Amino acid sequence: MAKEKEIKSGHHYDASDISVLEGLDPVRRRPGMYIGTTGPEGLHHLVWEIFDNSRDEAMGGFCDDIEVVLLPNNRVRVADNGRGVPVDIHKKTKVSALETVMTTLHAGGKFGGENSGYKVSGGLHGVGASVVNALSIYCKAEVHKDGGKYIQEYSQGKKKSLVKKVNSSKLHGTIITFEPDKEIFKDIKFDWNTIIGHIRQQAYLVKGLKILIIDARGYEGKIDDSDVFYFRELGLELPSVSFYFEGGLTSLIKYYNKFQKPVHNSIFYVEKELDNVLVEIALQYVDDIVDRIIPFANNIYTGEGGTHVTGFKTALTRTLNTYCKKNEMMKESEGGFTGDDVLEGLTCVISVKLREIQFEGQTKAKLGSMEAQGAVGTVFGETFTNFLEENPDEAKAIINKSVLALKARKAAKAAKDSVLRKGALEGMTLPGKLADCQSKSAEESELFLVEGDSAGGSAKQGRDRRIQAVLPLRGKILNVERARIDKMLASKEVRALVIAMGTSIGDTFDLSKMRYHKIIIATDADVDGAHIRTLLLTLFYRYFRQVIETGYIYIAQPPLYKIKKGKEISYAYSDAEKIKIIGKETDVSEIQAVETDVEVPEGEIIENEKSPARTAEASRSGGNKIHIQRYKGLGEMNPEELWETTMDPAHRVLKKVNIDDAEEANKVFEILMGSEVPPRKSFIQSNAKLAEIDI
């Protein structure tokens, strides 16, 4: 008989050890479960939750005007002219329906079936307003309904008073104002462009809806919105953006393809309901090698796809293969299209609306409703087949685009297999110029990508050989924005980087084989260095996006100046920091660069960009002179300087690269790195004043 384990004294476990979280306490205890993260994405998710409630009123036909205002003190105000949240007593909770909605999880007007008035909505979890309330230090709900104006205020999810009628009103609608809690969100900063980008999509998706966004953050102490329904009634001249579209998804396709060359002129569009699923799809092919599929479910952007995207991709591949074979537009030896072939160059918006919708997770990034897959597949398959039959010229252009992609895929696969096979046969799985680290643990290993042999030499000598690897890159790598894998792998520098990473590429990419969990781009602080950094980021974004999304890509921040005051040596990473270190309120433009040793009055600055040797010689004269050496490249630093300023984990400054808005990033890369010159010229002219010029 097995001996029973003795329970140690002090480890008694009974019902008293079980915690029961009441009300909105679970939200505050585990906010990530409800908004995904407490970083910038989660912060903006609070805005989306409140905005989505107003948008759902518009989808139901009860609202046609929404206003979003960024207020001082980190507050956000969302107003709509919908029906207004009910304020009468709820039979089950015995308190006002408004209080129930704002303070109770899974409570809302979207569970009531036909009687709720919501045929479709995005907020079916019923946690939107209550979660925002729970994570806010201040929240106020204002309802105009049935001739009265009602308000209730909250803090951290708890009511501060009962719902009370404060005035009469002839208006109808709801106004929610909230201020995120600093206990939950350490960095509260709403991004204007992020909010505009998200709400612009919604304006395209809900026809006839007017949306106004106002930035009033600079008016602290100067505004009082307590007696106005819409903030715009105050008559202030503030930064604002308004949206109103009647074209729907077709207009959205035109917006995404603004800087692209279409393969066919007409935009395919269908809107049809099947099995209680409303399917709306618009698409157009452009002359590009990447695809853009923008999916929505009940107007919620599902960035991770889901069943509606699966149904679309399956139907697209099947339809184009069937049409191609029927019209003998492809040789039998070429086989058929794969999903990648028919997606190349495609811009598509998929929108489905369902009464009972299932998302995978509260953040609603992926649709899980299986009925959407069948409905999308059937509706799109039938209508796209008709489109191809009725538009033979358009069909020919689309098929030719996919055939070209098929041939390129096969050529690229052969080239990639050849490169990887050749590397394995030569017994050289790592490039010769890579100075690898000793550690075999990817979690602690770092790969520095440096510019040229000079910087490579200093980095190799100054590094921590146990965890830091160095790969010098010669010259500017290939611009891969419009390059396929076969051409890309023909570049020695790109091939060396791909092999060093260990993940392979394309359809054989495997993130788990990543050899370094920090890839640090360390280029020079000049125009060429910035160009090389941009080329590397283009490579990672186009072919290794998962590496960026996982948080493995960093940009090193080497110092711009070495400053010596007597025997004290400091490093400055910006001009502002340089001025702070030298202790003078001197404009940078007034500091003269000198190339010869001269006697200068005590405290005067000697700045030498071109001759470190002369600076060192001048410093031997002693005194309180300040000597400044301007670093133009990492190769100018000796190994010790490079280690203590740029490579030492205890003191260095790294910037992590992430993708806040994939669509916006995609558009910028297309403009700046693509083959079309006019969009790039326009972008440069429009943003010239924002450029930081290093003279």
The tens digit of pLDDT for each residue in 531-561 reads: 888 889 888 988 898 999 899 999 999 888 8
pLDDT for residue 589 is more than 60: no
Q: Are residues 396 and 543 in the same domain?
A: no
Q: Are residues 52 and 106 in the same domain?
A: yes
If pLDDT is split at 50, 70 and 90, which confidence band does 599 have?
very low
Q: How many Cβ atoms from other residues are within 10 Å of residue 82's Cβ?
A: 24
Spatial neighbors of 428 by CB under 8 A, at least 6 apart, are none
Spatial neighbors of 213 by CB under 8 A, at least 6 apart, are 67, 68, 69, 70, 195, 196, 199, 240, 241, 242
If pLDDT is split at 50, 70 and 90, which confidence band does 376 have?
very high
Q: What is the DSSP letter of 566?
A: T
Residue 526 known to bind ligand: yes
Average pLDDT over residues 167-186: 95
CATH of the domain at 316: 3.30.230.10
Query: Does residue 287 belong to any structural domain of this protein?
Result: yes
**Can you tell me the distance from the alpha carbon of 36 to that of 42, in angstroms, rounded to the nearest whole number?**
6
pLDDT tens, 654-683? 999 887 655 565 666 666 666 666 667 766
pTM: 0.62
Residue 128's domain comprises: 25-243
Give the least confident one: 50-54, 118-122, 398-402, 612-616.
Answer: 612-616
If pLDDT is split at 50, 70 and 90, which confidence band does 3 have?
very low
pLDDT for residue 334 is more than 60: yes
For residues 170 and 564, the model is more confident at 170
Strand-pairing partners, residue 213, are 68, 241
Note the pLDDT of residue 661: 53
If pLDDT is split at 50, 70 and 90, which confidence band does 8 have?
very low
Note the pLDDT of residue 617: 40
Instruction: Report, in angstroms and rounded to the nearest whole number, the Rg of the chain calculated over CA atoms.
Output: 30
CATH of the domain at 519: 3.40.50.670
Query: Does residue 317 belong to any structural domain of this protein?
Result: yes
Note the pLDDT of residue 535: 87
Residue 451 known to bind ligand: yes
Given the residues 528, 549, 575, 661, select the one marked as catalytic: 528
Give the least confident one: 11-15, 175-179, 256-260.
Answer: 11-15
Q: For helices 662-673 and 677-687, what crossing angle results, to 10°?
A: 110
pLDDT for residue 684 is more than 60: yes
Note the pLDDT of residue 693: 54
Query: Does residue 12 belong to any structural domain of this protein?
Result: no
Note the pLDDT of residue 207: 82
Average pLDDT over residues 321-344: 87
pLDDT for residue 393 is more than 80: yes
pLDDT mean across residues, the chain: 82
pLDDT for residue 13 is more than 60: no
Query: Does residue 42 belong to any structural domain of this protein?
Result: yes
If pLDDT is split at 50, 70 and 90, which confidence band does 610 have?
very low
Query: Does residue 672 belong to any structural domain of this protein?
Result: no
Q: How much of the chain exceeds pLDDT 70, in percent?
A: 80
Query: Does residue 694 belong to any structural domain of this protein?
Result: no
What are the φ/ψ torsions at residue 488 (nearest 5 degrees)?
A: -65, -45
**Can you tell me the distance from the alpha carbon of 473 to that of 494, in angstroms, rounded to the nearest whole number?**
9
Question: Is 526 part of the annotated catalytic residue set?
Answer: yes
User: Of 587, 615, 630, at which residue does a domain stop?
Assistant: 630
For residues 577 and 182, the model is more confident at 182
Residue where the block lists tokens 């009300």:
23
Average pLDDT over residues 124-148: 85
For residues 4 and 141, the model is more confident at 141
> Which pairing describes strands 626-630 and 605-608: parallel, antiparallel, or unpaired?
parallel
User: Of 380, 410, 440, at which residue does a domain stop?
Assistant: 410
Q: Are residues 609 and 497 in the same domain?
A: no
Average pLDDT over residues 463-471: 95
Q: Are residues 48 and 176 in the same domain?
A: yes
Number of structural domains found in the chain:
4
Question: Is 528 part of the annotated catalytic residue set?
Answer: yes
Question: Structure tokens of 131?
Answer: 């979660």
Give SS3 for 80: strand
Query: Does residue 50 belong to any structural domain of this protein?
Result: yes
Q: Are residues 183 and 253 in the same domain?
A: no
Question: Is 224 part of the annotated catalytic residue set?
Answer: no
Give DSSP secondary structure letters for 450-469.
EEHHHHHHHHHHHS-TTTEE
Given the residues 153, 304, 360, 526, select the one marked as catalytic: 526
Question: Is 451 part of the annotated catalytic residue set?
Answer: yes
Q: Are residues 626 and 580 in the same domain?
A: yes
Give the least confident one: 245-259, 474-488, 495-509.
Answer: 474-488
pLDDT for residue 479 is more than 70: yes
Note the pLDDT of residue 318: 96
Strands (E), 412-499: 446-451, 468-473
Q: Are residues 299 and 375 in the same domain?
A: yes
Q: Are residues 550 and 567 in the same domain?
A: no
Say how far residue 413 (Cα) sits from the centre of its chain.
Answer: 30
For residues 618 and 360, the model is more confident at 360
User: Of 585, 605, 630, at which residue does a domain stop?
Assistant: 630
Q: Are residues 390 and 445 in the same domain?
A: no
Q: Are residues 185 and 38 in the same domain?
A: yes
Note the pLDDT of residue 421: 52
CATH of the domain at 220: 3.30.565.10
Query: Does residue 343 belong to any structural domain of this protein?
Result: yes
Note the pLDDT of residue 658: 84
pLDDT for residue 82 is more than 80: yes
Average pLDDT over residues 206-210: 88
Note the pLDDT of residue 231: 95
Q: How much of the chain exceeds pLDDT 90, in percent?
A: 45
Given the residues 181, 288, 493, 524, select the one marked as catalytic: 524
Q: Are residues 268 and 367 in the same domain?
A: yes
Q: Are residues 565 and 553 in the same domain?
A: no
Average pLDDT over residues 588-602: 37
